[in-house]
Amino acid sequence: MPTALLQLLWLASPALPVGGFSYSEGLEAAIDAGVVHDEGSAQGWLLDQLQLALGRSELPLLAQAIAAWVRGDAARVIALNEWALATRETSELRRQSEQMGR
């Protein structure tokens, strides 16, 4: 139990900015605007992010990248990565994607 708690605390630590923990994707703004104010509204906001954003862009791209990786098609993986970076609307979003990928 203590080991599991410690591992959970490491994931929640601001000293470990990795993956989805490094950027909120607008959650702070949604909280400030009162859109997210309790567990139910947080759940709705997260589901919207999955369905409207990730489900339409990131997840299909990830599926293609995994399939290419399994085939050993490194050129396709690189091409998908380059396409993903080129479709980011701003240089800040490109840097965010690159940082989260690392």
Q: pTM above the 0.75 mark? A: no
- Give pLDDT, residue 23: 64
Length of the chain: 102
Given a contact cutoff of 8 angstroms between Cβ atoms, the answer to whether 68 and 76 are in contact is yes
Extended beta strands in the chain, E state: none
Backbone CA torsion sign across 17, 20, 26, 31: negative
pLDDT tens per residue across span 29-67:
888 899 999 999 999 988 998 888 778 778 898 899 999
Mean pLDDT of the chain, nearest integer: 80
